[in-house]
């Protein structure tokens, strides 16, 4: 019975799962939390490595595995020098507006970037962070020999090889989903003298080895959303709402997505297909912030209050705009509570909070639809949101469609799928199908939920000028 190890190196913790390579059965799992830090504070990559070691140790470090894979979000850019040593803490800083503007102008504009890379650079896109570093620290810049994402650096630590996959590469802003290759010409906008082809990892296919570590096959790894798609057995048209402190809404499709509005990032998946994605800055932070203001420490208590109020919360609407791209909103973009009065109950406010969050997430689904992305398949709810009874029920009711509630770590599961696919030289979809991982816990909407009315109430509140409502 060969075992594979799937690792989810998330923003705040690392999870490791040992699974049977043939059946997918979980043999053991472990988790290690990362030291607390700000959402954009630079972080030593050694923290991620130590958490991987600790999570594997908690799961049973002595257990032998035949293959392993690491999945990670775009949580920091790792720079190495000629001796393959980390130059500085991983870059999580926000690029300045002028860095982004310079990149946009260099290529021609937003539409040109969408065609080239599937997305418009933002303050936390790696190519924009590189532009920021080039402007702010030229001495350090000259020492750069390798540029890696968090996931590809961890894979390098395991295999000593510089490799990645197309899913992880598609976060960077210098890789083309359509051409399936690095766009070193875009990096030349920052510094045309650097040999970028030598700085970037080699791309590996979904069944190709990255290398090995003491006889253990190392898979190329991938991004966290891409791994979750593998674990869930996503099919084209299925939609995942991955709801944690922030949220991402993504689906699978057969061709690239190029959204000129910039709302949808046209990413790649880990199998050769594509993964259009919308990021929502405010996720369960909305619920926890309002619960704190109400003096409610127990999430279950908040859920109970929310579910006692009727749909529409008696006309109260919460517009969850607490942050913009991960930073506190300025006064012109604050969230609002509309319809607040002396007679509003705690139940109504709790319900309005959950409804506002759900409406915002469903707007992200609408964003996919407007970008001509098919979204008529199954609707999955994962992450911390899947553990909230109120979020689950309100989501089904307002969406007016069944949702598949999928708690658990699907990123680690998908990483294990990739490890088994490389070990057995099988397509990842075949492995996932043989493992029967796709959840079937379907929640039907309440036919009296009146989701269309709640969404119309949310849109009407959005149209009110911020000075005319109670701001959050």
**Domains of the chain (ranges plus CATH)?**
3-224 (3.30.420.40)
Residue 57: phi and psi, rounded to 5, are -60, -40
Radius of gyration of the chain (CA): 22
**pLDDT string in tens for the chain (472-residue length):** 799 999 999 989 999 999 999 999 999 999 999 987 655 668 899 999 999 999 999 998 767 899 999 999 988 899 999 999 999 999 887 788 999 999 999 999 999 999 999 999 998 899 999 999 999 999 999 999 999 999 999 999 999 999 999 999 999 999 999 999 999 999 999 999 999 999 999 999 999 999 988 899 999 999 999 999 999 999 999 999 999 988 999 999 999 999 989 999 999 999 999 999 999 988 999 999 999 999 999 999 999 999 999 999 999 999 987 655 545 555 445 688 999 999 999 999 999 999 999 999 999 999 999 999 999 999 999 999 999 999 999 999 999 999 999 998 999 999 999 999 999 999 999 999 999 998 888 999 998 778 999 999 999 998 886 555 444 4
**Tokens read off for 233:** 């057995």
pLDDT at res. 103: 97
- Give the burial class of 47: count Cβ atoms within 10 A of its Cβ; 0-12 exposed, 13-18 middle, 19 or more buried: middle
Written in H, E and C, the secondary structure of 406-437 is ECCCHHHHHHHHHHHHHHHCCCHHHHHHHHCC
Check: CB of residue 422 under 8 Å from CB of residue 209.
Answer: yes
pLDDT at res. 92: 81
pLDDT at res. 247: 94
Angle between helices 451-462 and 346-370 (to 10 degrees): 90
- Give the burial class of 341: count Cβ atoms within 10 A of its Cβ; 0-12 exposed, 13-18 middle, 19 or more buried: exposed
The total number of residues written for the chain in this structure: 472
What are the residue numbers of the active site?
Answer: 224
Angle between helices 284-293 and 346-370 (to 10 degrees): 160
Check: CB of residue 6 under 8 Å from CB of residue 17.
Answer: yes
In angstroms, the CA 381 to CA 288 distance is: 18
Closest by Cα among 162, 166, 269 to 211:
162
pLDDT at res. 182: 98
């Amino acid at each position: 019975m060969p075992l594979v190890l799937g690792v989810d190196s998330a923003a705040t913790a690392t999870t490791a799962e040992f699974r049977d390579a043939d059946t997918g059965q979980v043999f053991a799992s472990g988790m290690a939390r990362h030291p607390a830090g700000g959402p954009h504070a630079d972080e030593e990559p050694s923290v991620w490595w130590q958490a991987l070691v600790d999570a594997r140790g908690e799961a049973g470090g002595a257990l032998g595995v035949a293959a392993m894979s690491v999945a990670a979000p775009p949580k920091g850019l790792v720079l190495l020098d000629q001796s393959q040593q980390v130059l500085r803490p991983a870059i999580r800083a926000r690029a300045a507006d002028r860095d982004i503007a310079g990149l946009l102008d260099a290529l021609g504009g937003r539409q040109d970037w969408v065609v080239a890379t599937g997305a418009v650079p933002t303050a936390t896109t790696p190519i924009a962070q590189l532009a920021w570093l080039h402007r702010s620290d030229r001495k350090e810049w000259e020492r750069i020999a390798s540029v890696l994402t968090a996931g590809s650096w961890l894979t390098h630590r395991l295999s000593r090889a510089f490799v990645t996959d197309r899913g992880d590469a598609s976060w960077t802003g210098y890789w083309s989903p359509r051409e399936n290759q690095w766009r070193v010409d875009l990096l030349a906008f920052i510094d045309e003298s650097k040999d970028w082809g030598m700085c970037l990892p080699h791309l590996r296919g979904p069944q190709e080895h990255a290398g090995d570590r003491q006889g253990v096959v190392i898979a190329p790894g991938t991004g966290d959303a891409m791994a979750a798609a593998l674990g869930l057995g996503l099919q084209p048209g299925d939609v995942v709402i991955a709801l944690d402190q922030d949220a991402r809404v993504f689906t699978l499709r057969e061709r690239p997505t190029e959204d000129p509005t910039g709302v949808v990032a046209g990413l790649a998946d880990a199998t050769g297909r594509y993964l259009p994605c919308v990021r929502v800055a405010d996720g369960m932070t909305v619920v926890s912030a309002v619960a704190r203001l109400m003096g409610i420490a127990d999430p279950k208590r908040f859920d109970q209050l929310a579910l006692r109020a009727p749909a529409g919360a008696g006309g109260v609407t919460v517009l969850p705009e607490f942050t913009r791209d991960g930073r506190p909103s300025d006064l012109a973009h604050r969230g609002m509570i509309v319809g607040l009065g002396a007679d509003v109950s705690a139940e109504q406010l709790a319900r309005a909070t959950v409804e506002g969050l759900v409406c915002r997430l469903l707007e992200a689904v609408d964003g996919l639809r407007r970008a001509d992305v098919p979204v008529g398949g199954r609707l999955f709810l994962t992450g911390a949101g899947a553990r909230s009874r109120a979020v689950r029920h309100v989501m089904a009711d307002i969406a007016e469609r069944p949702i598949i509630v999928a708690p658990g770590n699907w990123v680690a599961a998908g990483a294990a799928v990739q490890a088994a696919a490389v070990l057995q030289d099988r397509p990842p979809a075949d492995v996932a199908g043989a493992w029967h991982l796709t959840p079937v816990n379907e929640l039907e909407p309440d036919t009296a939920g009146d989701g269309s009315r709640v969404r119309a109430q949310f849109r009407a509140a959005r149209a009110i000028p911020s000075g005319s409502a109670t701001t959050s």
